[in-house]
């Protein structure tokens, strides 16, 4: 929908009839006397001269023409699918990751014409479309949220559907990045909820300053999951 409006600012709109009168008066002065032209041709020239003078005078008054363009925009639904190797490695019995991707793709059809749906997959980085490869060795959920937020800033985002097992091994905690997302985030929990045997370094304590040739200690804090903790030096 396109609408036009004319505003005159500090100049009164009554100058428009004056400009029209000026154009008619100028045309009458130019063609009031009979010349070697037919009356019909003389009237056509007078009308053209009146319109041209009217437009020039109107432009000198400097009206402001404003146009407003209304373009309906459907709510945007973003679907982000975790494409990391952990989805295909750790999952409950009976769950088929490839079949789940097919079911997730049907969501676009179910939403119909009322929404604009865009699909993505992520591992180390964000990519367009859904994927069944599950070959990414790194999972960066925070970067995926950040890139979606930057790509669709100031757009009418209705919701974000995030399908992931929550196992990330790169970047910051995605909960902090999710706070910057100005819409509702609906998560689809994937993977197995049973804790696996794992060992991680939770913290490293060390002196920020060390002199050349001196010995210094480093304290490494390891956190085991379903594994026996043994002292180490």
What was the pLDDT predicted at 58? 80
Tell which of 52, 69, 86 closes a domain.
69
For residues 202 and 222, the answer to whether their CB atoms sit within 8 Å is yes
Tell which of 43, 69, 95 closes a domain.
69
User: How far apart, in whole angstroms, are the C-alpha atoms of residue 50 and residue 65?
Assistant: 22
130 in the same domain as 43? no
Location of structure tokens 């002292």: 231
The β-bridge relationship of strands 116-122 and 76-82 is: parallel
User: How far apart, in whole angstroms, are the C-alpha atoms of residue 27 and residue 49?
Assistant: 6
**Count of CB atoms within 10 A of residue 219's CB?**
8
What was the pLDDT predicted at 231? 63
Helix/strand/coil for 125: coil
Element (H, E) at 92: none
What was the pLDDT predicted at 135? 92
For residues 131 and 156, the answer to whether their CB atoms sit within 8 Å is no
Residues whose CB is less than 8 angstroms from the CB of residue 156 and which lie 6 or more positions away in sequence, other chains included? 73, 74, 75, 76
100 in the same domain as 21? no
What was the pLDDT predicted at 38? 78
Low-confidence ranges of the chain (pLDDT < 70): 1-13, 34-35, 65, 229-233
For residues 3 and 70, the answer to whether their CB atoms sit within 8 Å is yes
49 in the same domain as 103? no
What was the pLDDT predicted at 5? 62
> Per residue, what are the HEC states of 130-171?
CCCCCCECCCCHHHHHHHHHHHCCCCCEEEEEEEECCCCCCC
User: How far apart, in whole angstroms, are the C-alpha atoms of residue 134 and residue 131?
Assistant: 7
pTM comes to: 0.63
What was the pLDDT predicted at 35? 67
User: How far apart, in whole angstroms, are the C-alpha atoms of residue 90 and residue 76?
Assistant: 31
Helix/strand/coil for 121: strand
Tell which of 17, 51, 69 closes a domain.
69
Per-residue pLDDT tens over the stretch 122-164 = 999 999 999 999 999 999 999 999 999 999 988 999 999 999 9
Helix/strand/coil for 21: helix
Domain containing 58 equals 2-69
Residues whose CB is less than 8 angstroms from the CB of residue 202 and which lie 6 or more positions away in sequence, other chains included? 221, 222, 223
94 in the same domain as 49? no
Residues whose CB is less than 8 angstroms from the CB of residue 168 and which lie 6 or more positions away in sequence, other chains included? 139, 140, 141, 142, 174
Helix/strand/coil for 221: strand
The answer as to whether 215 is a domain residue is no
133 in the same domain as 46? no
């Amino acid at each position: 929908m396109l609408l036009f409006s004319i505003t005159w600012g500090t100049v009164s709109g009554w100058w428009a009839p004056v400009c029209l009168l000026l154009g008619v008066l100028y045309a009458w002065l130019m063609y009031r006397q009979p010349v070697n032209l037919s009356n019909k041709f003389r009237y056509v020239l007078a009308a053209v001269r009146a319109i041209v003078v009217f437009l020039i005078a109107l432009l000198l008054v400097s009206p402001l023409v404003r146009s407003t363009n209304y373009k309906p925009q459907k709510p945007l639904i973003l679907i982000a699918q975790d494409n990391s190797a952990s989805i295909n490695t750790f999952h409950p019995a009976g769950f088929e990751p490839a079949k789940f991707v097919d079911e997730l793709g049907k969501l676009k059809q179910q939403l119909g014409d009322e929404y604009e749906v865009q699909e993505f997959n992520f591992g180390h980085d964000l990519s367009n479309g859904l994927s069944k490869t599950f070959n990414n060795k790194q999972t960066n959920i925070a970067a995926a949220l950040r890139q979606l937020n930057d790509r669709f800033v100031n757009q009418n985002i209705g919701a974000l559907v995030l399908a992931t097992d929550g196992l990330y091994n790169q970047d910051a905690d995605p909960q902090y990045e999710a706070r910057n997302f100005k819409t509702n985030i609906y998560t689809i929990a994937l993977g197995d909820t049973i804790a696996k045997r794992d060992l991680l370094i939770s913290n490293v304590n060390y002196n920020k300053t060390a002199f050349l040739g001196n010995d210094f200690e480093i304290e490494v804090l390891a956190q085991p999951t379903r594994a026996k903790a043994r002292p180490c030096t």
